[in-house]
């Protein structure tokens, strides 16, 4: 208010002096020429930074997951198949992993159920020759009760798998939890993908991108009075259209028996979409697939450099669950 008062007083004085000066002889004060104001240069926004595997310390992660179950003894008869389904990121299924397999703590938790291995040497070690390291415990009091954790071997420093693709993944990983209550009781399979998700604003907005990917999983088949629980392998072609959000998958799956015999399992396609502003996507198996099923996935690392997907499928005789992980070529 003080400054405004002085300014008004000075203006009034100028008017009075001009009037007393006789009017027409006064030289008007020139109007200053406006000086252009430069447009400020925007400060560049830095790209997000992401943590990386192998781990520097123990860490806990939420997961994308796929799960199924069955009840009965697959070694002696047909089993009763449960539901198979997928779930986007949530804290309902989460895991803890470590950078020190023999001294660290490894946990898989689904709702209130948990398996924990603390300071226990894995049954399959973290070593360059192994794509996964595995923990397993078998009950000494309840026949057929067991729990098994399987982790992609890219989280432990100094012993990352030598597999060219899997060993190069630094933003995404996976884990599997297989457990059983008893010989004839319920068995449950949970596959989970985890890692350092891409910030949605860091994803491309145009173009189509292929990903080089690897698949792992299990299929439970119960038919003609017999049951088989086989490992799933093979290839998955992944293509993402960042302009439209469409995600296309082509599965060419194999199955391997407990005896090590590998054969073709199923070939089918799936399609989904990424909602605007999200780093996750979901979809379903397309018509003509031998199973009905769903998948859910997400992008990991800078600009969606890596990808992780879980999938689950059902037919009259089969329950299929698994993970897909990959990266841009």
User: Token pair for residue 162?
Assistant: 């030598």
Residue-range domains of the chain with CATH: 59-327 (2.40.160.90)
Q: Which residues of 275-306 are buried (b: 16+ CB within 10 A; e: fewer)?
A: eeeebbbbbbbeeebebebbbbbbbbbbebbb
pLDDT at 287: 82
Q: How many helices (H) and strands (E) does the chain have?
A: 1, 17
3-state secondary structure of 302: helix
The beta-strand segments (E) located in 21-84 are: 59-71, 80-81
pLDDT at 180: 98
* Residue-wise DSSP of 254-268: EEE-TTS-EEEEEEE
Among 154, 162, 164, 163, CA closest to 101: 154
pLDDT at 288: 83
Average pLDDT, stretch 76-82? 96
Higher pLDDT among residues 32 and 283, named by residue = 283
Cα separation, 10 vs 7, whole angstroms: 5
pLDDT at 15: 32
Whether the predicted model's global pTM rises above the 0.75 cut: yes
Is the pLDDT at 26 greater than 70, yes or no?
no
pLDDT in tens, 132-169: 999 999 999 999 999 999 999 999 999 999 999 999 99
* Residue-wise DSSP of 166-212: GGG-SSEEEEEEEEESSSSSEEEEEEEEEE-BPPGGGS-SSSEEEEE
User: Token pair for residue 293?
Assistant: 């099923």
Q: Name 117's bridge partners.
A: 106
Average pLDDT taken over every residue of the chain: 89
Is the pLDDT at 253 greater than 90, yes or no?
yes
pLDDT at 291: 96
């Amino acid at each position: 208010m003080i400054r405004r008062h002085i300014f008004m007083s000075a203006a009034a004085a100028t008017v009075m002096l001009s009037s007393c000066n006789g009017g027409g002889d006064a030289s008007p004060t020139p109007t200053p020429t406006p000086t252009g104001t430069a447009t400020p240069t925007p400060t560049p926004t830095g790209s997000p930074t992401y943590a990386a595997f192998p781990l520097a310390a123990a860490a806990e992660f939420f997961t994308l997951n796929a799960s199924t179950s069955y009840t009965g003894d697959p070694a002696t008869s047909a089993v009763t198949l449960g539901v198979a389904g997928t779930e986007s990121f949530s804290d309902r299924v989460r895991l803890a992993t470590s950078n020190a397999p023999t001294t660290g703590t490894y946990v898989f938790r689904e709702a209130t159920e948990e398996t924990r291995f603390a300071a226990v040497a894995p049954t399959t070690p973290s070593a360059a020759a192994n794509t996964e390291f595995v923990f397993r415990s078998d009950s000494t009091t309840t026949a057929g009760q067991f729990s098994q954790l399987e982790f992609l071997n890219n989280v432990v420093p100094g012993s990352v798998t030598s597999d060219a693709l899997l060993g190069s993944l630094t933003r995404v990983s996976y884990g599997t939890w297989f457990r059983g209550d008893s010989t004839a009781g319920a068995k449950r399979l949970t596959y989970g993908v985890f890692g350092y998700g891409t910030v949605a604003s860091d994803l491309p907005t145009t173009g189509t991108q292929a990903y080089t990917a690897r698949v792992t999983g299990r299929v439970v088949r119960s038919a003609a009075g017999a049951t088989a629980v086989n490992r799933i392998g093979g290839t998955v072609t992944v293509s993402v259209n960042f302009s439209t959000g469409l995600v296309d998958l082509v599965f060419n799956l194999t199955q391997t028996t407990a005896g090590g015999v590998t054969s073709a399992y199923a070939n089918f396609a799936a399609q989904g979409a990424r909602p605007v502003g999200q780093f996750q996507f979901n979809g379903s198996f397309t018509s003509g697939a031998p199973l009905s099923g769903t998948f859910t996935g997400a992008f990991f690392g800078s600009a969606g450099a890596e990808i992780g997907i879980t999938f689950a499928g059902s037919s009259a005789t089969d329950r299929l669950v698994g993970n897909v992980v990959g990266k841009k070529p």
